[in-house]
Structure 1
């Protein structure tokens, strides 16, 4: 493991994932890796519910890790991989909350009162992919409850957690091992921190809100059709 991402989801982690892979610091583990391979959902559910984590097993084949659920365990990962550098992605707190409220939190809150159509979809997915259907439970265990104490409908609490998290990472990770990074800064600070040349191309911009909403729905459809 060469790079550990300590930043919360919706702070540009998908763009940073693409950037790290462009810099040959991938494959990069991301929540999208969990969605793409449902067996990983059960791995994280076990970790979230308190069973021992075999980090080398979880990240086999990967050289960097960003986004949740990995970022929920940034302390554990920083200790387990002492030579890895740490990147804390940040953004304006209000814009971050708005993004969270319309994507990840909206999805989690909707799980509490699923309409009939969604319950039927869940049943079909469970038959085809019993690991993937555990995704909401995994998200609660590793992010919603672990990071936010389940209080994702309380804006002030969520923003306080966001600010405290940034302060804790800055306080606990030595400055020569840590980059506090806003993806709008582009290649230069990232490449300087990693000691690599700056690519002659624009910094990646991925995972806008519209794309986020379509991604999991497409994966559900694939699982139903293919039975994976």
Structure 2
């Protein structure tokens, strides 16, 4: 499948505040220092905020592609095609284009490329956020698995600029990473994935971290001072995830409707103008014939 080209954000997308940066034209501007390779729903959104609080800016997360800069999804699609379909190449140069503005990366879809990221950035420290597998599976079923199968998102993606790039990438990632059946294979993939990452990273360069441990183990591992009088962030719970996704769907549908209104109004104005011109032309001909 040919690489999907970048297209600018429509001027009529006034209900969302997405940027439209073409990462294929970017390059690395800051060093990659942290690969947080724990699976999503293990506290990765909270970890992202924590890492940014510690000065690791920016920290890449699925939200970077889903709600911040949707064209990123085009490069994630390129990466997925290269790895799982043997189509094209995706190496250090491409990672620097996609993640070059970031000192850290976490969450999915990055976890699908744990080996590739470790090889691309061997100097980076690796963090594995963990969670009891049954709790993780139940949470993911209610959030990301629901999102990957959200009929409303699938419908909006047929017309909207942002979701038109995001949904195909999410669906592709979910299918290849969880063998097209998260409910059935999710827990086994969880165990296999964590075992694989542990086997790739030297113990002195790996921190296994569980939410609730606070700043101390994280800061000690990263060799940075802990923030004073600041609680460790806790965000992106299940209810909040679903509410944000539904709000996002609505905003994108409003973009589609507004674009339709503008286009429809323009066509109507053009039609009325043409009718008026034709009427004047006929009147002139009638006057000449009289």
Stretch of structure 1 that moved more, 217-226 or 168-177: 217-226
Which of 19, 33, 36 is residue 2 of structure 1 equivalent to? 33
Measured after TM superposition, the shift of residue 224 of structure 1 is 4.2
Structure ranking higher on relative contact order (CA contacts 8 Å, 6+ apart) = 1
Measured after TM superposition, the shift of residue 215 of structure 1 is 2.1
Q: Answer yes or no: is 1:183 the counterpart of 2:214.
A: no
Which of 192, 195, 202 is residue 223 of structure 2 equivalent to? 195
Q: 3-state SS of the aligned residue for 1:197? A: coil
Alignment of 1:61-100 (within 5 A): 61-100=101-140
Give the Cα–Cα distance (whole angstroms) in 1 for the partners of residues 232 and 106 of structure 2: 17
Give the Cα–Cα distance (whole angstroms) in 2 for the partners of residues 3 and 118 of structure 1: 32
Provide closer, same or farther for how the CA distance between residues 181 and 118 of structure 1 changes in structure 2, counting only shifts above 3 A.
closer
Measured after TM superposition, the shift of residue 159 of structure 1 is 0.7
Equivalent residue for 2:284? none
Give the Cα–Cα distance (whole angstroms) in 2 for the partners of residues 132 and 119 of structure 1: 8
Provide closer, same or farther for how the CA distance between residues 119 and 93 of structure 1 changes in structure 2, counting only shifts above 3 A.
closer
* Residues 131 and 210, structure 2, Cα contact 8 Å, conserved in 1: yes
Which of 197, 214, 221 is residue 169 of structure 1 equivalent to? 197
Give the Cα–Cα distance (whole angstroms) in 2 for the partners of residues 183 and 109 of structure 1: 27
Provide closer, same or farther for how the CA distance between residues 23 and 147 of structure 1 changes in structure 2, counting only shifts above 3 A.
same
Q: 3-state SS of the aligned residue for 2:208? A: strand
Please report the TM-score for the alignment, with normalisation by the length of structure 2: 0.70
Provide closer, same or farther for how the CA distance between residues 188 and 52 of structure 1 changes in structure 2, counting only shifts above 3 A.
same
Give the Cα–Cα distance (whole angstroms) in 1 for the partners of residues 183 and 114 of structure 2: 24
Measured after TM superposition, the shift of residue 119 of structure 1 is 6.2
Q: 3-state SS of the aligned residue for 2:149? A: helix
Equivalent residue for 2:241? 212
Equivalent residue for 1:121? 156
Equivalenced residue count is 216
Give the Cα–Cα distance (whole angstroms) in 2 for the partners of residues 31 and 132 of structure 1: 13
| Structure 1 vs Structure 2 CA RMSD | 1.9
Q: Which has the larger radius of gyration?
A: 2
* Residues 30 and 65, structure 1, Cα contact 8 Å, conserved in 2: yes
Provide closer, same or farther for how the CA distance between residues 37 and 218 of structure 1 changes in structure 2, counting only shifts above 3 A.
farther
Measured after TM superposition, the shift of residue 6 of structure 1 is 1.1
